[in-house]
Structure 1
Amino acid sequence: MSGLLAWQDDPEYVAQIDDLLHTDAVQKLNNYTQHHSMTRLEHSLNVSYRSYLIGKKLHLNTRALARAGLLHDLFYYDWRKTKFNRGTHAYIHPRVALRNAEKITELTPMEKDIIVKHMWGATIGLPRYKETWVVSLVDDYCAMDEYMGHLANDVEDKLKVNH
Structure 2
Amino acid sequence: MALLLVAAAVLAGGISLAVSRIFATRRYVMPLFAGLWLALSVGLVGFYAEYLRTLKVAEFRPDVYVENSFFRSLHNAPAEFQFFAHAVAVRDCKLYAWSYREMAFYEVPETVTLDDPAYEWPEGCRSRTGFGRVAGSLTPSSASPTPPDGGREGGAD
**As a proportion of its length, which structure holds more strand?**
2
TM-score norm. by structure 1 comes to 0.28
TM-score norm. by structure 2 comes to 0.29
The structure with the largest alpha-carbon Rg is: 2
Determine which structure has greater relative contact order: mean sequence separation of CA pairs < 8 Å that are 6+ residues apart, divided by chain length. Answer: 1
